[in-house]
Amino acid sequence: MTYRVHVRVMPRGGLLDPQGQAVAHALAALGFQGASDVRVGRAIELSVTAASRDEAEARARQMCDRLLANPVTEDYLVQVEED
Amino acid sequence: MLKVAVVRFPGSNCDEDALRAAELVGCEAFYVWHRETSLKGAEVVLLPGGFSYGDYLRSGAIARFSPVMQAVSEHARAGGAVVGICNGFQILCEAHLLPGALMRNAGLSFVSKPVDLVVERTGTVFTSAFTKGARVRVPVAHGEGRFVADADTLAMLEGEGRVVVRYAPAGPGVEGNPNGSVNDIAGIANAAGTVVGLMPHPERCVDAKLGSDAGLPFFHSIAAIAAGAAR
């Protein structure tokens, strides 16, 4: 079974996110009112072949822990759907 | 003669400067390609600056899984000397050979300019030729050099005296911290002082004819490691 895995990696809350700040300033400069607390992360999609949805999610989490996210600075969210 | 390996990753661009700096202080320096699995008898490993693997995903994140990094990790864990400069420092953090991480500069800009450093710890393989508190002006050139660590790690680094170099406080003629690093940290070491990582580039100032030789003492520190003692 092949599953489509969506990984969202975000800078950990509390850490300075200069990209998010710059985007917030740009939005304000464009006249978008009321946009605040902007944070910029990264989305990764991949197909994972596994026996079950749980196994696909477990393997995706291992990938995040080892490579896709830095545990010192980032948090991640894994979503799995049938391909 | 002390054997120094300069590891080349695809995207390394300070490898030649690092090799030449090691040769200038009398070491036998040679390149080791990232796909090799042996350090060829090196007693010191230099991970040079650059943009290994295009900085894809995160700086150093992919380089850290290069075949050669297994040998570098074993060398480091056996007490061997490993020095990471700029991208090399990022790789050492990604490989968990040093704690913390290096994030996008607080000002977002790539910063390329001389900075003033204070040598905080001299008991390391890269700073033994300095006196504690020495000031040295060395270039930085990075977009992701903001050192971060969680509160416990930071307290451990400070408590154990593992901050090796710090950006000098801003003052007359001194710009101060260029990237927003916590506690002005420019470089750290492992507990033994055998693994050192720093963002500034001392290999870029080792010849007075090219502007400055302020970085030479870093390499004299390496040369002072007795051949055979660092294995």
Distance CA B30, CA B103 (A): 30
DSSP summary character for residue B205: S
Does residue A43 belong to the interface with chain B, where contact is any CB pair within 8 Å?
Answer: no
Return per-residue pLDDT of chain B as tens, 231 residues: 999 999 999 999 999 999 999 999 999 999 999 999 999 999 999 999 999 999 999 999 999 999 999 999 999 999 999 999 999 999 999 999 999 999 999 988 999 999 999 999 999 999 999 999 999 999 999 999 999 999 999 999 999 999 999 999 999 999 999 999 999 999 999 999 999 999 999 999 999 999 999 999 999 999 999 765 544
Determine the structural domain holding residue B212 and report its residue range.
3-223
**Secondary structure class of B192 (helix, strand, coil):** coil
Contact residues on chain B for A67, CB-CB shorter than 8 A = 57, 61-62, 65
**Domain for residue B69, yes or no?**
yes
Alpha-carbon Rg for chain A in angstroms: 16
Q: Count each helix (H run) and each strand (E run) in chain B, helices first.
A: 5, 11
Sign of CA dihedral B166, B171, B175, B179: positive
Contact B31, B20 (CB under 8 A): no
Predicted pLDDT at B227 = 65
**Domain for residue B152, yes or no?**
yes
Does residue B158 belong to the interface with chain A, where contact is any CB pair within 8 Å?
Answer: no
Does the distance separating the beta carbons of B103 and A15 come in below 8 Å?
yes
Q: How many Cβ pairs within 8 Å bridge chains A and B?
A: 35
The domain total for chain B is 1
Contact B138, B202 (CB under 8 A): yes
Q: What is the ipTM score, two decimals?
A: 0.84
Task: Report strand pairing: B111-119 vs B101-103.
Answer: unpaired
Contact residues on chain A for B182, CB-CB shorter than 8 A = none
Does residue A62 belong to the interface with chain B, where contact is any CB pair within 8 Å?
Answer: no
Cα separation values, B122 from A63, B118, B132, B188, B189, Å:
38, 11, 6, 11, 11
What chain A residue is nearest to B63 in terms of C-alpha separation? Answer: A67
Task: Report strand pairing: A42-49 vs A2-11.
Answer: antiparallel
Contact A68, A47 (CB under 8 A): no
Q: For residue A33, how many other CB atoms are within 10 A of its CB?
A: 7
Average pLDDT, integer, range A43-59: 97
Distance from CA of B205 to the nearest CA of A (A): 30
What chain A residue is nearest to B108 in terms of C-alpha separation? Answer: A18
Predicted pLDDT at A83 = 77
Cα separation values, B137 from A52, B14, B212, B214, Å:
57, 18, 9, 7
Residue-wise pLDDT for A12-37, tens only, equals: 988 889 999 999 999 999 999 999 99
Does the distance separating the beta carbons of A67 and B107 come in below 8 Å?
no
Distance CA B95, CA B92 (A): 5
Average pLDDT, integer, range A27-50: 95
Contact residues on chain B for A18, CB-CB shorter than 8 A = 104-108, 180
Does residue B182 belong to the interface with chain A, where contact is any CB pair within 8 Å?
Answer: no
Contact A57, A78 (CB under 8 A): yes
Disruptive mutation site among A23, A39, A70 for chain B (greatest number of B CBs within 10 Å): A70
**Domain for residue B120, yes or no?**
yes
Q: For residue B160, how many other CB atoms are within 10 A of its CB?
A: 12
| Torsion region of A10: left, alpha or beta (phi above 0 gives left; psi -120 to 50 gives alpha) | beta
CB-nearest partner of A70 from B101, B150, B180: B101
CATH (domain of B124): 3.40.50.880
Q: Which residue has the higher pLDDT, A70 or B226?
A: A70
Which of the residues of B are catalytic? 86, 201, 203
**pTM of this prediction exceeds 0.90:** yes
Does residue A45 belong to the interface with chain B, where contact is any CB pair within 8 Å?
Answer: no
What's the angle, vertex CA B132, arms to CA B130 and CA B136, rounded to 5? Answer: 55
Return the amino acid letter for A73. T
Distance from CA of B2 to the nearest CA of A (A): 35
Predicted pLDDT at B230 = 45
- The residue among B144, B176, B145, B149 whose CA lies nearest residue B160 is B149
Domains and CATH numbers, chain A: 2-82 (3.30.1280.10)
Does the distance separating the beta carbons of B101 and A72 come in below 8 Å?
yes
What chain B residue is nearest to A70 in terms of C-alpha separation? Answer: B94
**Domain for residue B230, yes or no?**
no
